[in-house]
Structure formats: C-alpha cells, structure tokens
C-alpha cells in the first residue's frame, strides 16, 4: 500500500512548525509552490515558511537557473514586520515558528498566498525524489520524514526512475548520508555489511550515529539489523560498549577462533571466553559472533583487494588495512590467542603459519629425494604435499600483498621438481644450447628467485638455501660438461647443422622477413640478456598479447631458439658479431655502419640506434628520429638497450629477482610502437651473464675481463681453454671461466666473458601482436615452460649420482605427470586423458548425432580435418593453447584465428555451455573435455 503525495500539501496549521530545514529541502518547497501558484506580477513575493527560525547557510538560496531568494530567520512578529517594511529586489523567504493565528491579518495580507506555508515532510520527500507515491511502510516511520528533510544533500536527493519511493530505497540514501559513507566511495546501492564494517574505520564513526535524535538512531539501527542480520547485532553491541572502532580487527579474531571445529580445543574455548566480554552481558550467541567474524573476513578481504589494486574505494585502503592488521595482532596478544589463529585466511599469524608449512614440506621433498632409492614412492607424494601447501599460501588474503613471497615458494618447488627429473645428457653444443633455452634457463630464473630468500621467516630461508645449493650444484655440473663440449666444438670449426650462432642471427632470422617485404621489422638487442631474463620477459609479453614464434620453424620442431655467442662473451666481440653478421671486434660506429650497409637488406633502408641516440629530450621517452624511423614501414629498425648490461657493473636498486618489462629501459615503449605499426619484433641479445653469488676471486695477470684471460697459463679447475676461428683474441685463443662461482676482477653485480651456458647462450624471441599474419617459415609456439615448471614428474635422478643420464637416454625428454593434489598446473584434464588417446575420443565425437546437428548449423562448413587438428592440439596440451597456435594446428591463417575459434564455439558450445572458451582477453583457448563429453553424450574415458 502506498500513500499518494499532496494529501496535506496546503492545510493551514498542519506540520511541525519548528522543523529545521536545509537549503535543498527549502528550495524544493519554494519551487514547488511557485510552480503550483505563480506569484503575481510586481514586487517580489515574501514567503512565510513554518520552520525553525535558524539559517546557518548562505543568505541567498538558489532556486534553479538564475533565480534566487533571500532567506531570513524571523523568531518574532517584530522581525517579520521589519522585513515587510524593507524593499526587496528578489523573493524573500521568512522562517518562523510562530503559529499563524498569532501573526494577524496585517502580516498575512502582505505575504505570498496570505498564509504560512508548511513543510509537510512526506510531500517534500516525495518531491525531492520525484516520486508520485510513498511506500506505506516508510510513512509509518514518523521519524524518517524529518530525518530525510534534515539529511538532504545540497544538490537534493537523486530522482527515481520509477513512481514509488520504497522504504528501503529511502533509508539506504538516509544511512549513506547520515553515516558519511560517501567518504569511502560507497553509494546507497552499495550498502551492505561490508560497507558498514568499512564505515567503522572512519574517525568519529560512532559519534555520527550516537549524535542522531534517539528515535532516528533507534529506527536506523533496527532497519539495518533487519536488513543485514547478525553482523549488525554485533556492531550494535560494540557501539554500546564503545568498541566500534575495533569492529573489523575483533571480527577477524572471531573469524579464526569461532571457525568450525575450533570449539573442541580447550585453549580456544578459554580465548573465546576472554573475547566475549566485548559482546555485552550476557554475550551474544556463538552463531551471531561466528557470522560477525565471517562478515569481517569478507570486508577485510575486499579492503585488501582494493589496496592491492590501488583502488580509490575506499581511499587510503592500504594504510587502513595495515592498521587493522596491526590492531588485530594487539588484540591477539591481549587475549593470548596468537597461536590459535593458524587457520586464519586473513591475519598475519595465519600467513606466517602457512609460510612455515611451505618450509617444512619443501624440506621434506628434498629429504625424499635423498631417500629416493629406498622409498621412491615418497617423491611424488612429498611434491604434491608441498604444492598443496603453496596453494594454501596463495589462497591467503595477504598473498596479493606479498606476491613475491608466494612466487618464491613456487620457484623453490619448481627447482625441487627439476631435481627430481632426469636430465637428458647433451651430445654437443647444439643440444646444450637448445636445453639451456628450453629448460635450464628456467632453472636459472628459479635459482635467482630462491636466492633472494625470505628474511622474515627463518625456516623458509633455510629451506630456500637448501634448495638453492642443491640446484646450483647440479647446474654447475651441466656447465662443466658444456665447457668441454664448447672447447671441442670451437676447435673443430664451430657451426654445424641448424645451430644458430650470433653472427648468423641477421642472415637467418632477420633478413628473410625483411626480404619477404610483407611486414616491417624491429630488432631489439638487450645487451647482456640471458636466457633466464628472456624466460621471465617472454611470459610477461605473452600476457600482454604478444605471440611468440619459432622463426626457423621449418627446421625441426617449433621451439624457442638460442644462438652461440662469439668468444669471448663480451660486448665488443659478440655484439659486433651480431650486428655486423661476421666475427670481429668493433664499437658502436662499426656496428652502425655495417648494419646500415648490409647486402642482406637488398637495398632496403636500415637504421641502428644505440644509447646516445635512443632516448629523447624532457617529456619524450624515445628520440625523435627513432620515432620517425619506427613509423617508416620500409625501414628496418635496430635498437640496442643497455639496461641489463649496465646493471651488471653498477647493480640494481631492487630487491626483486628477475627482470620485468618496465625495468628494462624503453622496452615497453618500443614494443608499443611496434604493435601500432605492425612490426615483427626480434628480441635478442649479444651474450648472457652470471650473477654475483658469493663468488671467489682468482688471481691472474692476464685478465681481459672478469671471466676470461689471454695469458698462456694453462687452464686450472673451473677454467677451459678455447681456440678457433670464432675466438676474437691474439692467436684465436682465450682461457675462460666456466664455473659461475669464480671471477678474475673485483666484485660487481654480475659478470660475462666466460664459458658457462648462461653466458654463451643468446636467446632469440620472435614476436608478433595477437592476430597478426606470420612471415613465411614462422611457427607459433605453445607454452615455452618446461614440464616441471607446472607439474611434477615421474622420472628422477639419484641424488648422489651424476646429474646426466647415460648415453642411451640422450635426447629423451621426461614425460610430465600431475600428481593428486598438485594444483600448480593452470588447468588439469581428467586423469583418463592420455596423449595417445585423442583419436578415439574425437572419432566418437564426430560420430555423434549432436555433433552432426551442431556442425550443420554453421553458415560456412568447417572441414572435419581442421576441427580434428584444433582439438587434437588442445588435448595434447592439457586443454590450453594460444589462439594462434590452435588455428595453425588446424591449418588456418593466424590472422583468422579468432574467427576460426568463434566458429568452433558455435559447434561445440551446446546451449551456450563453455566447452570451448577464450581466456586472457582472447589470447588463449581452453577446452573443457569433461563438459565436451557430457554435452555430446560420449564416454569420458578415452581408451
């Protein structure tokens, strides 16, 4: 039932004469009266309003447009006569609480409509909201009408889209205004228990509520409790005992101590008893406290998310969230309950406990490797347990606040997985370089993260050290073997087969695209970029919509490529070889001249930009000439970025491991220009590096760099003698350090010039924006991470044995298996799916009536062999594959990738169920095999 407005609009003597009025409400009433009863022509009207004769606002009241009225409080008859005697150029509004019968006909005859205009609250409320009817439940709240008039914001209440002002709508607006929720960015429609808990963090929040008139305060509290239940009962109690400011921190403590199963613990019961004193006497029921704790946990989780997003709702979310956690810790210490909240998903004590569990399980996994000969079944079990512990850590609400700590935990587990995997012995330099790019570079990346450690948790720091030392020793053995292979390869004449060398990157990778002429090219040389740096950057670029290709996809299976640096692995040798396409030594001038004049470009223009010509003036990221060159589609652009190489000399002002796109000079801006102009990007290096990790300085008289020497002294432990035509030194001979723990010169942040895999291997990444057509011979890559990066493995090495397998295992890759409970993999297909069973599933799919019906619905029939190729590729890759690779495996052009996937979705997504979906903003395709089988009525078992 609703109340129609206007029922008491003009009844004389009706309404609270002493009603305080605010500018918005008064303006609404005056405009309403002038619209219904236009004033007579002539002198401006004098309007008598029944209201409290108090006006602490600006004397001139805007009435809309250019119209204004002067407001004057008149507490007496004399004050009214005084105003009537004055000349006015605009309407005058007189506020008086005198009864109309006390004013006399003399005054009434001179005022607008010859009467006192009363402010009927409900008519005014309806007018402000633009409502024609009022909810009868609202009208029965006698306090609400006055409150809505007093609380009206200066711009008035917002106009409704409907005709009825509902009770809850009006009270949501009233609460939002009375409690100052706008300061938190909370709108009336956002009002919920979380918003009210956030409100308790405002300074003086309790005063905002207690200062309201008793009837209004009681009414609002009652409505809030009715609307939001038990959490508001707890808040009301805390308000009564003057503990409202502790609402969220106390709620977080309650969430942990009143969690399911906690009541059985005697220590927890005693702590609960100490806390219950906050909730009145007698205290609130346990179910109310438990519900309040859950609401506080949700409010805190939302607050932490806002802080991590740097959201403006609420303002100062980061400072507020940390203050809440600080206060919660104080309460826990006060209650003696800090050891009882280990299961908390929000408190710091819970996060620390999960860190401890990670340390214990990682150490257990290392122990299982030591005992693998006696108990081989323990290895996958302990790996799965460690993965579950890290997953729980990642699910804690503070994980987004400390993402680096979660990432380091995953890195430690990845290294243990690698240690549990048999490494195929490389048969020569070509295979070793390939393994460095596709596997061991990822090991180096993980080692770098684990080296950073965790000073805040001693047990975790010890676990990381143990993992680091074990992985470092295994990597050192691989470098030892590679040094011998490199020496033989160099002595025997170097390149053979399809192995890239740094001087062949331009002829074999860049020149074919330039000569094809269908797409401009940007060559970016990140001086000193190792395979570990490239691994991290490649993952970041994939998330930003760049698709990686194998530029030599016609030679062997598609994979990320690596090249052999020139020797020694220093800039003056290896970068010159890269940019001149010939072994030699030079400087920037040598490189620029050779790059511009290469016959490889067949007359096309080429420009090379070094550090001095790379950066622009104030306000410009790139030099003006570089920007112009990037816009010239017929110009091959080469850019040398020295950020990584410079950091090896001077160090980095960062405690974070790895390199990100934003920390490598203008790399992001260069890639943005390349995307805009449709350039293919070749991202490469001239050599890699090793980092300073407690290295030992070896004294020598012939040190030409920190990692190589030219004196005739024979090589000692950790050194290798390299001779050959690719060695740029007197006599084409150097002695280089292969051991990453050694150096010749004083300590720096990192070093290069040696013969370790990390220094000799040059990563080569070929990139295109998502959806761009690929040059001839380029093949898109699936996920470049090795199997152990996301899943445990079944094969292992004996910890005390050589890290290489025997000759009979050369070149064989371990097969990944995801153990139960390991949630590190992004998507897991059912255990019944196997690599060799895809045909059986697809045969049943294509034979089903549902598939025939769905296939017939497509306007342009897709050949079955293309559908089979796409689905086989997805099944072979655990159901997840880049969009362009799905199209390529199906025989479609990369430029049609999104359209092809959309057509497949029409066929496979029966009744719009997401059998086939695109994630990562369309960059990746996901196949839900279980849902596919259910929707098409075929057996899920593939064998």
Helices (H), 618-678: 624-631, 643-650, 667-676
Residue 147 CB-density burial (10 A; 0-12 exposed, 13-18 middle, 19+ buried)? buried
pLDDT for 655 equals 63
Rounded CA-CA distance 887/895 in Å is: 9
Beta-carbon contacts of residue 938 (< 8 Å; ≥ 6 apart): 841, 844, 845, 848
Taking a C-beta distance cutoff of 8 angstroms, is the pair 714, 481 a contact?
A: no
Q: What are phi and psi of 627, to 5 degrees?
A: -60, -40
Helices (H), 848-915: 849-856, 864-876, 883-890, 897-908
Mean pLDDT per 10-residue segment, the chain (943 residues): 51 50 85 90 92 92 91 95 93 94 92 90 85 93 90 87 93 96 92 96 94 95 94 94 95 92 79 89 90 95 90 83 96 92 94 96 96 91 96 95 94 96 86 96 96 90 97 96 96 85 97 95 97 95 90 84 97 97 96 96 95 86 94 96 92 77 93 94 98 94 95 96 96 97 96 98 95 89 86 44 34 34 37 43 87 81 88 83 84 80 88 83 83 83 45
Cα-Cα-Cα-Cα dihedral sign, residues 789, 791, 793, 796: positive
Nearest to 234 by CA among 263, 267, 262, 275: 275
Cα maximum dimension of the chain? 123
> What angle (nearest 5°) sits at the alpha carbon of residue 641, between those of residues 552 and 518?
40
Beta-carbon contacts of residue 883 (< 8 Å; ≥ 6 apart): 770, 897, 898, 901, 918, 922, 923, 924, 925
pLDDT for 941 equals 54
Can you spell out the DSSP letters for 598-609?
A: -GGGTT-EEEEE
Rounded CA-CA distance 78/779 in Å is: 94
Rounded CA-CA distance 50/99 in Å is: 8
Q: What is the spatial order of strands in the sheet that 2-4 belongs to?
A: 2-4, 133-135, 164-165
H, E, C per residue of 459-472: HHHHHHHHHHHHHH
Taking a C-beta distance cutoff of 8 angstroms, is the pair 804, 423 a contact?
A: yes
């Amino acid at each position: 039932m609703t109340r129609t407005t206007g029922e008491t609009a003009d009844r004389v003597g009706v309404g609270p004469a002493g009603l305080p009025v605010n500018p918005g409400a008064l303006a609404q009433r005056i405009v309403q009266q002038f619209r219904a009863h236009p004033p007579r022509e002539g002198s401006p009207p004098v309007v008598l309003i029944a209201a409290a004769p108090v006006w602490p606002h600006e004397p001139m009241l805007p009435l809309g447009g250019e119209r204004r009225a002067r407001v004057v409080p008149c507490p007496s008859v004399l004050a009214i006569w005084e105003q009537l005697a004055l000349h006015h150029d605009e309407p005058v509004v007189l506020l008086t609480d005198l009864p109309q019968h006390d004013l006399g006909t003399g005054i009434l005859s001179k005022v607008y409509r010859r009467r006192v205009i009363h402010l009927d609250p409900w008519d005014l409320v309806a007018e402000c909201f633009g409502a024609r009817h009022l909810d009868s439940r609202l009208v029965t709240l006698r306090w609400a009408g006055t409150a809505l008039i007093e609380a009206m914001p200066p711009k008035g209440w917002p106009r409704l889209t409907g005709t009825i002002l509902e009770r809850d709508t009006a009270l949501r607006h009233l609460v939002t205004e009375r409690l100052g929720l706008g300061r938190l960015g909370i709108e009336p429609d956002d009002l919920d228990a979380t918003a009210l808990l956030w409100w308790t963090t405002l300074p003086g929040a309790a005063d905002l509520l207690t200062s309201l008139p008793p009837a209004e305060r009681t009414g609002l509290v009652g409505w809030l409790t009715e609307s939001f239940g038990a959490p508001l009962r707890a808040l009301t109690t805390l308000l009564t005992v003057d503990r409202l400011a502790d609402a969220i921190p106390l709620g977080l403590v309650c969430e942990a101590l009143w969690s399911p199963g906690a009541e059985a613990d005697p220590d927890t019961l005693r702590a609960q008893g100490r806390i219950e004193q906050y909730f009145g006497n007698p205290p609130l029921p346990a179910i109310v406290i438990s519900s309040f704790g859950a609401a506080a946990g949700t409010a805190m989780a939302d607050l932490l998310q806002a802080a991590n997003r740097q959201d403006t709702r609420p303002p100062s979310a980061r400072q507020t969230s940390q203050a809440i956690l600080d206060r919660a810790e104080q309460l826990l210490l006060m209650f003696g309950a800090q050891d009882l909240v280990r299961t908390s998903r929000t408190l710091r004590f819970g996060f620390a406990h999960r860190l401890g569990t990670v340390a214990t399980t990682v150490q257990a996994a290392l122990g299982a490797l030591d005992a693998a000969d006696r108990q081989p079944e323990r290895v996958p079990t302990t790996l799965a347990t460690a993965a579950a512990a890290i997953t729980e850590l990642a699910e804690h609400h503070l994980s987004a606040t400390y993402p680096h700590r979660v990432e380091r935990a995953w890195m430690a587990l990845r290294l243990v997985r690698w240690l549990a995997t048999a490494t195929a012995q490389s048969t020569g330099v070509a295979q070793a370089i390939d393994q460095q790019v596709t596997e061991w570079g990822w090991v180096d990346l993980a080692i770098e993260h684990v080296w950073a450690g965790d000073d805040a948790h001693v047990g975790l720091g010890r676990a990381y050290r143990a993992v680091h030392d074990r992985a470092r020793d295994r990597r050192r053995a691989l470098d030892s073997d590679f040094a011998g292979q490199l020496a033989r390869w160099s002595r025997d004449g170097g390149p053979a087969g399809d192995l890239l060398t740094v001087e062949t990157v331009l002829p074999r990778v860049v020149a074919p695209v330039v000569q094809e002429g269908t797409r401009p090219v940007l060559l970016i040389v990140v001086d000193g970029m190792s395979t570990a740096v490239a691994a991290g950057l490649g993952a970041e670029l994939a998330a930003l919509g760049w698709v990686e290709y194998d530029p030599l996809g016609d030679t062997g299976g598609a994979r990320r490529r690596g090249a052999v640096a020139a020797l020694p692995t220093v800039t003056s040798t290896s970068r010159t070889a890269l940019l001149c396409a010939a072994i030699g030594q030079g400087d920037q001038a040598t490189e620029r001249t050779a790059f511009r004049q290469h016959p490889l470009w067949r007359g096309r223009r080429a420009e090379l930009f070094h550090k001095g010509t790379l950066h622009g003036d104030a306000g410009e990221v790139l030099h003006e000439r570089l920007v112009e060159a990037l816009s010239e589609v017929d110009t091959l652009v080469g850019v040398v970025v020295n950020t990584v190489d410079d950091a090896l000399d001077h160090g980095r002002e960062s405690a974070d491991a790895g390199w990100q796109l934003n920390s490598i000079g203008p790399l992001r801006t260069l890639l943005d220009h390349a995307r805009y102009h449709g350039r293919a990007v070749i991202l490469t290096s001239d050599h890699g590096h090793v980092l300073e990790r407690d290295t030992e300085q070896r004294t020598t008289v012939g040190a030409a760099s920190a990692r190589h020497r030219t004196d005739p002294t024979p090589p000692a432990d950790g050194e290798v003698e390299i001779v050959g035509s690719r060695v740029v030194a007197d006599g084409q001979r150097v002695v280089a350090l292969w051991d990453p723990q050694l150096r010749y010169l004083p300590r720096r942040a990192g070093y290069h010039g040696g013969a370790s895999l990390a220094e000799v291997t040059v990563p080569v990444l070929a990139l295109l924006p998502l959806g761009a057509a690929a040059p001839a011979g380029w093949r898109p890559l699936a996920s470049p991470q090795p199997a152990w990066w996301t899943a445990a493995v079944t094969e292992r090495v004996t910890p005390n044995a050589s890290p290489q397998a025997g000759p009979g295992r050369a070149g064989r890759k371990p097969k990944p298996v995801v153990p139960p409970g390991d949630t590190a993999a992004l998507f897991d297909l059912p255990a019944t799916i196997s690599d060799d069973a895809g045909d059986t599933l697809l045969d049943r799919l294509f034979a089903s009536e549902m598939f025939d019906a769905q296939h017939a619905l497509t306007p342009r029939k897709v050949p079955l062999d293309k559908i089979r190729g796409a689905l086989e590729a997805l099944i072979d890759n655990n159901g997840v594959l880049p969009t362009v690779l799905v199209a390529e495996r199906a025989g479609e052009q990369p430029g049609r990738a999104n359209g092809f996937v959309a057509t497949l979705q029409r066929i496979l997504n029966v009744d719009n169920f997401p059998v086939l979906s695109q994630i990562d903003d369309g960059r990746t395709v996901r196949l839900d095999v279980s849902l596919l089988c259910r929707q098409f009525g075929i057996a899920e078992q593939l064998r």
